[in-house]
Amino acid sequence: MSTRDLVLSALFAAIIVALGILPPITLGFIPVPITAQSLGVMMAGVVLGARRATIAVLIVLVLVAIGLPVLSGGRGGLAAFAAPTTGFLVGWVFAALTTGFLSERLAKPEQPAALQLAGFFLAAVVGGIVVLYAFGIAYLAVAAQIGLKQAFVGSMAFIPGDVIKAFVAALVGRAVMAGYPLLPARS
């Protein structure tokens, strides 16, 4: 891994952390708040690709583990890995990996802009919503002892916002691909 790869991963780790400054919105009927940090995970995947995006998320999780308050609402420390939201934190790794993997294959510089945007959007939806929710909902059902169906139904309230986040991530991915062609190949 080159120095450039590490710098880009650290930059996106900082973006994910910065998105945690926005206060979480709790819905009351499910113990998982709405946060902007999943947008950072999606953006890392579409801009950096699978490997570098995964490293960016791992950097954030290490910062959480050592106790820095980098999660939305100023949370941090090992207690964050013992909460009902832990599945979503673990899911960030696989969401970034999947989003990056799919974006590397679905969005190519030689494609028309609309196809690039569609590829990035599909990658962000599959990785940042489907994969992330698979981890988050499964763990939430176990940790909160609410059952898989209730965890699934409660999590559906997040879908509209996450689709908007996926679209924003796709716009960012397309803008970076068009405006910064010197970015090394996503990997």
pLDDT at 136 over 60: yes
Span 148-154, mean pLDDT? 90
Confidence of residue 33 (pLDDT cuts 50, 70, 90): confident
pLDDT at 184 over 60: no
> Alpha-carbon distance 81 to 78, whole Å?
5
DSSP output for 41-107: HHHHHHHH-HHHHHHHHHHHHHHHHTT---BTTTB-SGGGGGSTTHHHHHHHHHHHHHHHHHHHHH-
What pLDDT does residue 102 have? Answer: 97
Q: Which tops the pLDDT comparison, 187 or 100?
A: 100
> Alpha-carbon distance 57 to 17, whole Å?
10
What pLDDT does residue 26 have? Answer: 77
Task: Reduce the DSSP state of residue 34 to 3 states and report it.
Answer: strand
pLDDT at 155 over 90: no
Q: Are 133 and 155 in contact (CB under 8 A)?
A: yes
Contacts of 40 (CB under 8 A, 6+ apart): 12, 15, 16, 18, 19
What pLDDT does residue 176 have? Answer: 93
What pLDDT does residue 144 have? Answer: 86
**CATH classification code of 3-179:** 1.10.1760.20
pLDDT one-digit tens code per residue, 55-112: 999 999 999 999 999 998 889 999 999 988 899 999 999 999 999 999 999 999 899 9
What pLDDT does residue 9 have? Answer: 96
**pTM of the full predicted structure?**
0.91
Span 118-128, mean pLDDT? 97
- The domain limits of the chain are 3-179
